Amino acid sequence: MTDTLQIALDELAACLGPAGYLSGDDRPMRNRADASVGDPVEPLAVLRPADTAQVAAAMAICARHRLPVTVQGGLTGLCGGATPTAGSLAMSMERMRRIEEVDPVSMTITAEAGATLQSLQQAADAQGLLCPVDLGARGTCAIGGNVATNAGGNRVLRYGMTRQSVLGLEVVLADGTVISSLGKMLKNNAGYDLKQVFIGSEGTLGIVTRVVLALVPKPAWTGLAMVATRDFDAAMACLIEARRSLGPALSAFEVMWPDYWRMVTQNVPGCRDPFEAGHGFYFLVEVGGPDGAREEEAFKAFLQGAFEAGLIEDAVVAQSLADMERLWSIRDASAEIEPVLGDHESFDVSMSPAVLGAFVEDVRATLSKTLPEARAVFFGHAADGNIHVMASAPGGTAAIRHRVEEIVYDRTRWYSGSISAEHGIGSLKRNWLSWSRSKPEIALMRRLKAALDPDGLLNPGKVLPPEVTS
């Protein structure tokens, strides 16, 4: 270690104190990589600031010494966005977990970036309100990470991505400046809406330290049905009718192609097929609202109407919370089928909902022509235009994996889709960014990065592809 590096690290240690600066063997294993990356990397040290002032002071020291920083929340990301690069510091938000306020009149919650999503959900619930952001990692993921990645999840159809719920944001810039815009107003057109720049930038433009989220009234009633149709087109016709007749009560519309359905119901314990016969397509439809009786009536009328119109072949309506859990477990079994698929690649793509069906047929045909032994399953959030693909990469070599990626991303590009609907880019997808973004778009992203972080100190090696020097 050079003398100047040691001086910088000593300054950080003095600034953050023993609880805020962990080096050598004290560096926790969990801070060496996020959930998506196999090979851990050794950060120079793990910084654990106690508040915004410490984040700002630490960044000012890092800026002076040109030390890069990888920001970490709950480490549940799926694209390597929180994995340190060699020679960088890890800065974890794990000591900044306070829920500062729930305001029931303005319907807002204010929290530090390291607070888990679940802790926000519980604090909102205690006031009879709902935190609209929800995803499977809720118990571990940090709200700052949800904002930094513009997380999607289970309620996007009803409440939008995380961006839509963010009213206020506090951010520390690369030079240590604190930008505090913690207003609770739904409407604020006083100059540029700076928070929009940081939401979804995956820690590369600033460090989220505090968040104000809009809360919503808690639905008093939820209805759920698993529905079988002849094919994708019939399910999309049901979606259009559901939107028309259920309006904003519609809270989820999750689709499953039959290959996914069979793999789950035949292999995953507890995921029994609720239907007697096989069908061409399946969807899960959820409805929520303030009044049980009225919404239940509308929900039944929708299902009855779709059945009579010949759009639905069969349907199972949940009669209990246990039923709901059982039906959701089929949709949520993607992790459980990973062993069945063996070596595989997972995708999170989006496109116009109108072309989703054609995209899936196209990927399936191209895969079976190019890699006949590969198996692929398809499922996702049809109303959002977001499909998850899991495709086996038989043999698991880097070349085969790349071939599978190439097939899926080429087809995504063909349908003017996005290579990342909700998971972000991180380090794992940045070489594919140009499949969804034009050269002028990527050049403009670089221009923003250079303006906000001219020395490239924040989350190096993430989001933007490496620059080709000619």
Of 26 and 441, which has the nearer Cβ to a second copy?
A: 441
Of 61 and 130, which has the nearer Cβ to a second copy?
A: 130
Where b means 16+ CB within 10 Å and e means fewer, 441-451 reads ebeebeeebee
Residue type, 119: S
Q: How far is the CB of 274 from a second copy (least distance, A)?
A: 28
Q: How far is the CB of 157 from a second copy (least distance, A)?
A: 8
CA 161-77-40 angle, 5° bins: 165
Of 13 and 197, which has the nearer Cβ to a second copy?
A: 197
- Give the largest Cα separation in the chain, rounded: 78
Residue among 144, 114, 117 nearest 133 (CA):
117
> What size, in residues, is the chain?
470
Quick one: tokens of 18?
């023993």
Q: How far is the CB of 374 from a second copy (least distance, A)?
A: 24
Q: How many CA atoms lie within 13 A of 382 on its CB side?
A: 32
Of 321 and 444, which has the nearer Cβ to a second copy?
A: 444
Of 205 and 333, which has the nearer Cβ to a second copy?
A: 205
Kindly give the pairing relationship between strand 207-214 and strand 166-172. Answer: antiparallel
Q: How far is the CB of 3 from a second copy (least distance, A)?
A: 33
> Distance of alpha carbon 390 from its chain centroid, rounded?
17
CA-CA distance, 461 to 448, in Å (whole number)? 15
Of 9 and 142, which has the nearer Cβ to a second copy?
A: 142
Q: How far is the CB of 124 from a second copy (least distance, A)?
A: 14
Could you tell me the end-to-end alpha-carbon distance of the chain, in angstroms, rounded to an integer? 32
Of 263 and 425, which has the nearer Cβ to a second copy?
A: 425
Kindly state the helix (H) or strand (E) to which residue 451 belongs, with its residue range: helix 439-452
**What is the rounded radius of gyration, in angstroms, for the C-alpha atoms of the chain?**
23
CA-CA distance, 165 to 120, in Å (whole number)? 13
Q: How far is the CB of 224 from a second copy (least distance, A)?
A: 17
Q: How far is the CB of 436 from a second copy (least distance, A)?
A: 4
| Residues in Cβ contact with 279 at an 8 Å cutoff, skipping those fewer than 6 apart | 228, 229, 230, 258, 313, 314
| Residues in Cβ contact with 45 at an 8 Å cutoff, skipping those fewer than 6 apart | 9, 12, 13, 21, 22, 23, 27, 89, 90
Q: How far is the CB of 287 from a second copy (least distance, A)?
A: 11
Of 94 and 422, which has the nearer Cβ to a second copy?
A: 422
CA-CA distance, 106 to 81, in Å (whole number)? 33
Of 370 and 416, which has the nearer Cβ to a second copy?
A: 416
Q: How far is the CB of 79 from a second copy (least distance, A)?
A: 9
